[in-house]
Amino acid sequence: MRAATTHRVILGIGGGIAAYKICEVASSLAKIGVDVVPVMTAGAQEFVTPLSLATLCRHPAYTDRDFWAATHSRPLHIDLGESADLLVIAPLTANTLGKLAHGLADNLLTNTVLASTCPVLLVPAMNTDMWQQHSVQRNWQQLLADPRYHAIAPGAGRLACDRVGQGRLAEPQEILAVIDSLLLTRGQRDLAGKHLLISAGSTQEYLDPVRFIGNPSTGKMGVALAQAAAHRGAAVTLVHGPMAVEHRQALTGVQQIAVTTAAEMQQALVAQLPQADWIIMAAAVADVRPRDRAPQKLPKAALPDQLPLAPVPDIAAHLASLKKDHQRLIGFAAQTGEIESPARQKLQRKGLDAIVANPIDRANSGFGSDSNQAILLGRSGQRHEVPACAKRHLAHQIYDFVNALGDR
């Protein structure tokens, strides 16, 4: 008997060489306490053994042999379907895709899908020519029109057949990120039809080509916000400062605009503002810049003893002066010590609709951390405290909070 707080994920594995990647997904989920139940098609067993999946999942791997065996008190597909919080099919083959699109069920996996009501995550992988077939694309689009189905489209690259093109299975970390969001939101797409404009990372204000004023922000919170919004159905534009390649690669389907300075960030955000419904200012923008910028590296002896500084634009306040009545502007306040009072002042002073006050002087919070904690404040006095959690979990709670503010 699983604990009431444990999520159960039915992990359906189709027949394809990409099945080996699912071993990492299965192991990662099991390690964080998710109840992972592998269900393998006959084709999948040609690439990965049931014993391998059972060992990684800490749970028996079910096959069609179990489906047809009279060893269960209730039909196996009914038990699996009714107990699932999420069903993931990866790799999704053209064969299984066609069956699902037409409501067909001739094996344990497809019968379990029809016997369940939970969200289903589809992660296809196949040869480029197979993926581009009209019939395959028709089936794909038909399933995507059903709100129950969520998907990670195949990526492009070198395939097992040596073809270079679209058809690669999504990487395990991307699959895990979407699974995480779907378990948190139960598959809701409450941001569908909205366009979110998000800023992330630090800005850098240069003294010369190699020296700058900046801060330790890595952009992880902004990446989490962009992922969570996309997983909830939003169109997302992320304007970000210098950021690690792995963070940028984690943003499939998100429009990215790279900038360096505060002035460049303001220009990009103002340009994107008209199409945005919500603007989330998660970037740690520099407060000042060197008054003068040298075109060449200054010799050490030429560095000034006192550095003349000039203010940078207050981007959040400027956006507040430009936004329309239907738009919501949410700021961030990275603070040390007592965080709530300064955040409330910033909320009012800058004309924000809500603000996220988060400490940067506590363990496992703030810049560079994978986790965060915050106090969420609304303009009309709303308040919600979020204890330490993964940054993507905080992002979802921020969206829940903003949704609860109601329409303007």
Note the pLDDT of residue 408.
54
Q: Are strands 195-200 and 235-240 parallel, antiparallel or unpaired?
A: parallel
Sign of CA dihedral 177, 179, 181, 187: positive
Residue 406: what pLDDT?
74
Residue 397 CB contacts under 8 Å (≥ 6 apart), including other chains:
376, 384, 386, 389
297 is in an annotated binding site: yes
The amino acid that residue 332 corresponds to is F
First vs last Cα of the chain: how many Å apart?
A: 46
Specify the DSSP class assigned to residue 131: H
Strand 383-390 relative to strand 371-378, pairing: antiparallel
Task: List the chain domain ranges.
Answer: 8-185, 195-404
Q: Out of 1.10.10.10, 3.30.460.80, 3.40.50.10300, 3.40.1550.10, which CATH number does the structure's domain 195-404 have? A: 3.40.50.10300
CA 242 remoteness from chain centre: 19
Q: What is the pLDDT of residue 365?
A: 86
Nearest to 348 by CA among 313, 377, 318: 377
Q: How far apart are CA 299 and CA 305, in angstroms?
A: 13
Closest CA to 36 of 44, 28, 26: 26
CB 374 within 8 A of CB 400: no
Whole-number pLDDT of residue 248: 87
Give burial (CB, 10 Å; 0-12/13-18/19+) of 162. Answer: exposed
pTM score, two decimals?
A: 0.91
Amino acid at the residue 324: K
Q: If we measure between CA atoms, which residue out of 384, 382, 374 comes closest to residue 406?
A: 382
Output the pLDDT for position 1. Answer: 32
User: How is residue 221 written in tokens?
Assistant: 């919170």
Equal CATH topology for 8-185 and 195-404 = yes
161 is catalytic: yes
One digit per residue, the tens of pLDDT, for the chain of length 408 reads 344 458 999 999 999 999 999 999 999 999 999 999 999 999 999 999 999 999 999 999 999 999 888 777 789 999 999 999 999 999 999 999 999 999 999 999 999 999 999 999 999 999 999 999 999 999 999 999 999 999 999 988 888 877 888 889 999 999 999 999 999 999 999 999 999 999 999 999 999 999 999 999 999 999 999 999 999 999 999 999 999 888 888 888 899 999 999 999 999 999 999 999 999 999 999 999 999 999 999 999 999 889 999 999 899 999 999 999 999 999 999 999 999 999 999 999 999 999 999 999 988 888 989 999 999 999 999 999 999 999 999 999 999 999 999 765
Cβ of 186: how many Cβ atoms within 10 Å? 10
Greatest alpha-carbon span in the chain:
85
Establish whether 67 is an annotated binding residue: no
- Residue 346 marked ligand-binding: yes
Partnered with residue 11 across adjacent β-strands are 38, 88
Could you tell me which residues come within 8 angstroms of residue 310 by beta carbon, excluding any fewer than 6 positions away? 288, 289, 290, 291
Confirm or deny that 35 is annotated as ligand binding. Answer: no
Distance, CA of 44 to chain centre? 28
Sequence-distant (6+) residues with CB within 8 A of 299 are none
Residue 249 tokens, joined: 């690669």
Q: With contact defined as beta carbons under 8 Å apart, do 60 and 34 qualify?
A: no
Q: Of the residues 23, 57, 118, 161, which is catalytic?
A: 161
CATH architecture of the domain 8-185 equals 3-Layer(aba) Sandwich (3.40)
| Residue 287 among known ligand-binding residues | yes
Q: Strand order of the sheet with strand 371-378?
A: 255-258, 235-240, 195-200, 278-281, 328-335, 354-359, 371-378, 383-390
Q: Are strands 288-290 and 309-311 parallel, antiparallel or unpaired?
A: antiparallel
